[in-house]
Homo-oligomer: A and B are copies of this chain.
Amino acid sequence: MAENQDFRYSPIGVFDSGVGGLTVAREIMRQIPKERIIYFGDTARVPYGSKSQETIIRFSRQIIRFLQSKGVKAIVIACNTASALALETVQPEFDIPILGVVKAGAKEAAKVTKNGKIGVIATESTIESQLYTKEIHSHKPNAQVLGKPCPLFVPLVEEGWLKDPVTVEVANRYLEPLLESGIDTLIMGCTHYPLLRSTLRQIMGEKVNLVNPAYETARELKALLERDGLNNDGKQSYEGAMHEFYVSDAANKFKNFANSILPYGVDTTQLIHIEDY
C-alpha cells in the first residue's frame, strides 16, 4: 500500500493511567523491536480503576489528541479500564487504528479454555463494565465468565510487596470464589497483575491458564501493522531517542518503575499538561 509508505516509520502511541502500561510497551518492544513507541502515562490522574465511564472517556480523548499531535500511526490503549470503558466510544472518532488490551485478552482466553469457565481479575470499573464477558461471549457464547475486582493489588504492587505474606493472604481472599468455581483460565485484566504472576500461580495451581492480555495485544498489533503495510522495517534513520516517554505528573516513581521493568533506559521522561489537549 503505497499510501502508507509515509506512515510506516511513524511511531506507535501507547497509553495508560500510569506506569502499569509499561508491561504492554515491554511486550511491543520484545515482539516488534523495530517499532518506535511514544508512551504516555497519566500519572497526575492515576488510577482509573475506580472512576466513571464519562471521566475515563474524557481523559482518553485528551490523550489520543496528544498522541496524534506526535504523529503516531496507531494507538494501543494499554490500560484495561480505559480499554473497557472508552475504546468503543473513541475508536470511530479518530482516523487511525486504536487497539485495546481487553479484546486480545478475551480472545485468547476463549481459545485456551477447555471447560469454558473463565475468571477475570481486574479493577472495579473494568469488572462493572462487563466488557470481558461480552468479548469472551463473542468468541464462545456458552462460556461462563466470573469477574472479581481486586482493588488492593495495584497498591500492593506499587508498595513492592510482590511475594509478601500480606499479598498472598489478600490474593487468597480475592481468588477463593474463582478457585471454588473451578475455572481453568484466569485473565490478568489489569496491567499491574502480571507482576503478581508467581503469587497467582501459587494460589491457582499449575493447571490453570494465566492469560496476559499485554502479550496478546502486542501480537495483534504486529498482525495489524503487517496487514495494513504499516510495519516499520527499521531502514529509515531518525533523530533523538528510539522511544519517548511522557507523563502528566513528574513523580520520580515513573522513571524508577520504568527502568526496573523495561529493557530500555528511560532517562528523559517529559512532563506535559494533558488537560490542555
Contacts and interface: CB of A to CB of B under 8 A. Distances in A.
Nearest to A253: B50
A249 interface: yes
Given A152-B156, A166-B166, A51 B55 contact: no
Contacts of A242: none
A191 interface: no
Interface in A225-277: 248-251, 253, 275
Contacts of A70: none
A112 interface: no
Nearest to A250: B52
A154 to B, nearest CB: 8
Interface string A163-183: 001100110010000000000
A44 B50 contact: no
Contacts of A248: 55
Contacts of A88: none
Interface residues of A, number: 26
Count of this chain's copies in the oligomeric assembly: 2
Interface in A108-161: 151-152, 154-156, 158-159
Interface in A7-62: 43-45, 50-52, 54-55
Contact of A155 (B52, B152, B166, B249): B152
Contacts of A158: 50, 151
A97 B185 CA distance: 57
Given A44-B45, A45-B44, A275-B275, A249 B152 contact: no
Contacts of A50: 158, 251, 253
A166 B170 contact: yes
A253 B170 CA distance: 22
26 contacts: A43-B51, A44-B51, A44-B55, A45-B45, A50-B158, A50-B251, A50-B253, A51-B249, A51-B251, A52-B250, A52-B251, A54-B249, A54-B250, A55-B250, A151-B155, A151-B159, A152-B155, A152-B156, A154-B155, A155-B155, A165-B169, A166-B166, A166-B169, A166-B170, A166-B173, A275-B275
Given A152-B155, A165-B169, A169-B169, 14 more contacts: A43-B51, A44-B51, A50-B158, A50-B251, A50-B253, A51-B249, A52-B250, A55-B249, A151-B158, A151-B159, A152-B152, A152-B159, A166-B169, A166-B170
